[in-house]
Amino acid sequence: MAMLAKNRWGWLMVVAVVWLVGGWGRAAAQDTTFKEGVRIGLVYSPGTKPGVLIMPVGGDMADSIHTILSRDFEYGDRINVVALDPSAVAEATTAARVGTGPVPNYPLYAKLGVQVLVQANVTAVGLHVSVHNVVKKQIERVRDYPLLGVPLSPEWRLALHNAADDLEFFVTGTRGISSTRILYESGGRIWQVDADGANAIAVTTTGTAMSPAWHPKATHMAYMQFGSAGTQIVIKEIGGPTRILSSTPGGLNTTPVFSPDGYTMIYAHAAESGADLFAVNAFGSEPARRVTVGRGSDNTQPTFSPDGRRIAFTSSRSGHPEVYISDADGTNADILTTFNFGDQSYRGSPDWSPDGRLIAFQTQIAGRFQIATISLRDRSIKQYTSEGVNEDPSWAPDSRHLVFTSDRGGTRQLWILDTDSGRPPRQLTRSAIRRGARLGAWSPPLRPH
């Protein structure tokens, strides 16, 4: 085979607080002015981000907790993490009266561009957090978050990421993406990595696995695996056993994807006369049902709409690869990427955004693949990359961030871009394996157990 990637076109391309002295912590715990489930309610001008200051954390692992919370807010791209010298923080804190302990000087913090203070302290059971509304000069929320497992372990970090995402929702109205993980292929194995790039762990032992996909509840993952009779679709329970999808026939079976309800799986099966999509009960034993009738064309890389009623996929039925859209049963198929804004007609690897508004895909421009999106409302296309070769986009749960494969750093690795701000992409993986990392698949939000 000349190339391995996750699509096939006649040839085989297989295959993202707090300074707490004791007085502050006790005062915060006694506050009753906030209402659970109510956001902080600050109003910002379009294009601006709220200034949030995470005060120095009190207790064990304070520096690590401060760093992780700050980075989570920064990577979410909705919060301006205000960095102040510790001496400036001290100057902005005054003693209100004897016996109360230090309290924030809200007017001074406001002058320093801070709208929200996050105050955190490590307790025997987790993290005690208070959120101060600098504009209203009061505490808006107090909450305790459990920290599970050994400090800095994947479980401990996930619990801390979950706290960061919850705080981001309280401040901005949108939940963060820190408590997520990304599956990818490297060296023929499936790996997972935290959305901040930490804890890269191989989750398969075989050297022939590719095309990972998450179950919508993150209880399972699916991938394709080479075997003696071609490639098979494997479903693996997270932390549990694996099984072969029995309905897949011999030959090439690739690019599995779960439906939003988690019960149906669609995958591509290739024969000598082309490739078509098939649907099957992911956890049953019924025979697969044919979804597309390609008549010799290649139909691969399916992705579901959030409501599960439609799919987008890559098809060569027009003579070259384009993104098509149809009902989930394959009827009413129509070409989606009809506007030729590049000089090559090759578009594929679609991924439907969780909010249903956009489909991300890769498009060939000047001989290189780049990442773009197309609007389902007016079919307008927007290109996001231009440096290097960029492929296989996958949406974060916030429908704003994309993980993709790029060789812009010299080797093929996973990168994350923010489709709203236009800030430079950040590198996620740093795999030392010769072929690098590719084929990222972003998880739904994960909850600590």
Q: Are strands 11-13 and 51-54 parallel, antiparallel or unpaired?
A: unpaired
Segment 144-159 shows an average pLDDT of 94
pLDDT at 1: 34
Looking at residue 173, its amino acid is G
pLDDT at 97: 40
pTM: 0.87
Q: What class has domain 22-172?
A: alpha beta
Q: Domain map of the chain by residue range?
A: 22-172, 180-442
pLDDT at 38: 43
Average pLDDT, the chain: 86
pLDDT at 239: 87
Under 8 Å between Cβ of 116 and 53: yes
Highest mean pLDDT among 271-275, 388-392, 431-435: 388-392
- Calpha distance 395→360 (Å, rounded): 8
pLDDT at 318: 87
The pLDDT-based confidence of 42 (bands split at 50, 70, 90) is low
**Tokens 């026939």 correspond to what residue?**
249
pLDDT tens digits for range 310-329 = 999 999 998 899 999 999 99
Q: Comparing 22-172 with 180-442, is the CATH topology the same?
A: no
| Backbone phi, psi, residue 89, to 5° | -60, -45
pLDDT tens digits for range 180-193 = 999 999 999 999 99
Q: What percentage of the chain has pLDDT greater than the value 70?
A: 84
Contacts of residue 52, defined as CB under 8 A and 6 or more positions apart, other chains included, come to 73, 79, 80, 81, 82, 114, 115, 116, 117, 118, 171
| Statement: residue 207 has pLDDT above 90 | no
| Statement: residue 249 has pLDDT above 90 | no
pLDDT at 23: 30
Q: What class has domain 180-442?
A: mainly beta
Under 8 Å between Cβ of 58 and 67: no
pLDDT tens digits for range 23-38 = 333 333 333 333 444 4
The lowest-confidence range among 16-20, 203-207, 256-260, 401-405 is 16-20
- Calpha distance 322→306 (Å, rounded): 21
